[in-house]
Amino acid sequence: MLLEVRNLHVHYNKVAALKGVSLQVPSGGIVTIIGANGAGKSTTLRSISGLTKPSKGEIHFDGQRIDNLPAEKIVARGIAHVPEGRRIFPDLTVEENLRIGAFLRTDKAKIESDIEDIFQRFPRLKERRTQWARTLSGGEQQMVAIGRALMSGPKLLLLDEPSMGLSPVMVQEMARIVSDIAERGVPVVLVEQNAGLALKLASYAYVLEIGTVAVEGKASDLQTNDHVRRAYLGA
Amino acid sequence: MPDFLLQTVFNASYAASYMALIAVGLVLIFGVMGVINFAHGELYMAGAYAIVFFYVWSGLPFFVAVALGLVFVGCLGILMELTLFRPLRTNPLGGLIASIGFLLILQTLAVLGFGLRNQNVPPVSQGRITVGGAFLTYERLYVIIATIGLLTALYFFLRKSKFGWALRACAQDREAAALQGISINQTARYAMFIGAALAGVAGAMTAPLVAPSPYMGHSVIVTAFIIIIVGGIGSLEGAVVAAVLYAFVHTFVTTFYDGVIANIVGLLLMLAVLVVKPQGLFGVRERA
Ligand SMILES: Nc1ncnc2c1ncn2[C@@H]1O[C@H](COP(=O)(O)OP(=O)(O)OP(=O)(O)O)[C@@H](O)[C@H]1O
Ligand SMILES: [Mg+2]
């Protein structure tokens, strides 16, 4: 397994947000975490990338324990996190946002070719490369956030609700982008409220309910699971 | 242009220059650290005393003394970061209060080391440029040139270098910056060095013109606060524009009325800007 989360507990000011979450991510494909508002999806991703410190439990990545490392050391290990709400740098240009994703890298030539690769994937960003990022539309900002994460050359990509606030057309575009990333060899952990979409994209799924894993299984099996259908797919 | 007008423009350009250095440093520190550095006037004072020590007492060439002052005050900035702001990283109000403590320490050290009286710094040059009946001394011209040079260098550092991007990224979203592998501690050291060094250079370059005293920081810190409020807290361009605006208004009113009225007009200028544009001239929206 590329990533293993074991019995993770997180508290915010003594209130438990995660109460023993365990999950595994293989070194290919898409794993999704779905769940209602406040279930603890973002908290799970934030613990993996080091933004939030767990009070109990272990996180292993690539065979090494990482839960005691600060966020800037974890990205160096190869985990890129596109946080909830995108969190691009509004007063950097589009290109500066992308390049800062490669902050820790020193392979100059490969950085240049990766930038070109990002611009090929997202031609709209190329047209807007010198614009302040705050002037972009929501969908374009999401592309910047994903492009910035890819610029670190990650071994694992964490995506927190990439479809949030996007038009239906953009949501489909985003789905295509996420599948494409996984197909090109970067495994993805996808957090989504749009459970139907997430279960279509992913091969394996975890359903979080108030800080614990309520159901897990193959995404295709969960699509037909009664509880999941009633609670998350509106059936 | 009549001579007295040109003379006032020269005087205002000089005042705008060193105030811009001070205000930009203050804004940079606020942006990256999230702390209002009340000791900023005392960093300016420390720069002036570096000239007293290296130039007057040790007899080093003036510009060597300025360079040493820059490094010395920059290191004071790093010291503040390591001892005060880092332990109080999540507590901006605590940082502000700690900076007031640091201000008192620096003042006390200046009194202990150099005494209470004003220091006499011998002139660096007697030269002057004369245009008609107006003149600009070389000493003031050096301040203007140093300011333009340093602020241009800062601009290119922030826009063209990886560490410049890191500084701006940290100022905009610390958590997102950490996710890019940017260390807040390292970035804070850069910001404190640069911000403090700019104030130090302002103090060092103006030392021959102001007769340094341990309490000289008071005179600039209030003005610096007005300038960064007018410019829009957090905006570096705003600080430069507001420094120029304030210095011109203040110098002209001082010349044609008097200094007390000029201070009042300066405050009214701030109020007027805040009424029309509460976030300041170049102010950005509330940060998240
Ligand atoms: N910074 C914080 N301080 C205090 N409590 C928090 C904080 N962040 C999250 N929580 C709480 O932790 C729980 C889990 O929140 P989390 O953001 O992980 O949920 P989520 O599944 O991502 O929800 P959403 O779908 O709304 O994004 C919630 O009860 C939330 O109120
Ligand atoms: Mg969330």
DSSP codes of every residue in B96-163: HHHHHHHHHHHHHHHHHHH-SSPPP---S---EEEETTEEEEHHHHHHHHHHHHHHHHHHHHHHHSHH
Q: Is the CB of A17 under 6 A from ligand 1?
A: yes
> What is the predicted pLDDT for the residue at B287?
45
> What is the predicted pLDDT for the residue at A177?
95
Percent of chain B with pLDDT over 70: 98
Give ion ligand 2 contacts, CB < 5 A.
A 42, 84
> What is the predicted pLDDT for the residue at B282?
87
**Other CB atoms within 10 A of residue B98 CB:** 21
Nearest-angstrom CA–CA distance, B206 and B139? 8
Q: What is the pLDDT of residues A129-160, one digit of tens each?
A: 999 999 999 999 999 999 999 999 999 999 99
Domain count, chain B: 1
> What is the predicted pLDDT for the residue at B3?
87
> What is the predicted pLDDT for the residue at B90?
87
What is the value of pTM for the model shown? 0.91
Q: What is the pLDDT of residues B129-158, one digit of tens each?
A: 999 889 999 999 999 999 999 999 999 999
Tell me whether residue B120 is in a domain: yes
B175 touches chain A (CB under 8 A): yes
A76, A87, A152: residue with CB nearest B176: A87
B237 touches chain A (CB under 8 A): no
Ligand found nearest the CA of A52: 1
* Atom from ligand 1 closest to the CA of residue A84: 27
| Residue of A47, A86, A87, A88 best to disrupt the B interface, most CBs of B under 10 A | A87
- The list of chain B residues with pLDDT below 70 reads 285-288
Using the structure block, give the residue that is written with the tokens 């405050």.
Answer: B267
| Residue of B174, B180, B286 best to disrupt the A interface, most CBs of A under 10 A | B180
B165 touches chain A (CB under 8 A): yes
Tell me whether residue B58 is in a domain: yes
> What is the predicted pLDDT for the residue at B285?
55
Taking alpha carbons only, the member of A47, A70, A67 closest to residue B89 is: A70
Task: Write down the ipTM of this complex.
Answer: 0.95
Strands A56-61, B134-137: pairing kind = unpaired
Using the structure block, give the residue that is written with the tokens 């960003």.
Answer: A125
Question: Cα(B229) to centroid of ligand 1, in Å?
Answer: 35
Nearest-angstrom CA–CA distance, B265 and B253? 8
Q: Which residues of B touch A70 (CB under 8 A)?
A: 178, 183
The protein residue whose alpha carbon is closest to atom 31 in ligand 1 is A38
Contact criterion met (CB < 8 Å) for B181 and A75: yes
Nearest-angstrom CA–CA distance, A17 and A13? 10
Average pLDDT (A168-192) is 95
Nearest-angstrom CA–CA distance, A32 and A36? 13
Contact criterion met (CB < 8 Å) for A72 and B182: yes
Contact criterion met (CB < 8 Å) for A89 and B176: yes
Q: Which two tokens stand for residue A14?
A: 């003594």
3-state secondary structure of B264: helix
On the CB side of A200, CA atoms within 13 Å amount to 10
- Residue span of the structural domain in which B133 resides: 2-214
Q: Is the CB of A47 under 6 A from ligand 1?
A: no
- Sequence-distant (≥ 6) Cβ neighbours of residue B10 within 8 angstroms: B134, B135, B136, B140
Nearest-angstrom CA–CA distance, A176 and A124? 16
Tell me whether residue B101 is in a domain: yes
Q: What is the pLDDT of residues A67-92, one digit of tens each?
A: 999 999 999 999 999 999 999 999 99
Greatest pairwise CA separation for chain B in angstroms = 59
Tell me whether residue B153 is in a domain: yes
Tell me whether residue B62 is in a domain: yes
Q: What is the pLDDT of residues B212-254, one digit of tens each?
A: 999 999 989 999 999 999 998 888 889 999 999 999 999 999 9
- Sequence-distant (≥ 6) Cβ neighbours of residue B258 within 8 angstroms: none
Q: Are A79 and A62 in contact (CB under 8 A)?
A: no
3-state secondary structure of B235: coil
CA angle B53, B54, B56 (to 5 degrees): 70
B170 touches chain A (CB under 8 A): no
Q: Is the CB of A42 under 6 A from ligand 1?
A: yes
Tell me whether residue B225 is in a domain: no
Tell me whether residue B113 is in a domain: yes
Nearest-angstrom CA–CA distance, B91 and A209? 34
> What is the predicted pLDDT for the residue at B41?
97
Q: What is the pLDDT of residues A184-232, one digit of tens each?
A: 999 999 999 899 999 999 999 999 999 999 999 999 999 999 898 988 8
Contact criterion met (CB < 8 Å) for A100 and B172: no
Tell me whether residue B155 is in a domain: yes
Q: Is the CB of A165 under 6 A from ligand 1?
A: no
Please list, residue by residue across A111-120, b when 16 or more beta carbons sit within 10 angstroms of its beta carbon and e when fewer do: beebbeebbe
3-state secondary structure of B14: helix
Greatest pairwise CA separation for chain A in angstroms = 52
Q: In what order do the strands lie in the sheet with A30-35?
A: A79-82, A156-160, A188-192, A30-35, A204-209, A212-218
The protein residue whose alpha carbon is closest to atom 16 in ligand 1 is A40
Q: Are B164 and B175 in contact (CB under 8 A)?
A: no
Q: Which residues of A touch B184 (CB under 8 A)?
A: 72
Contact criterion met (CB < 8 Å) for B176 and A91: no
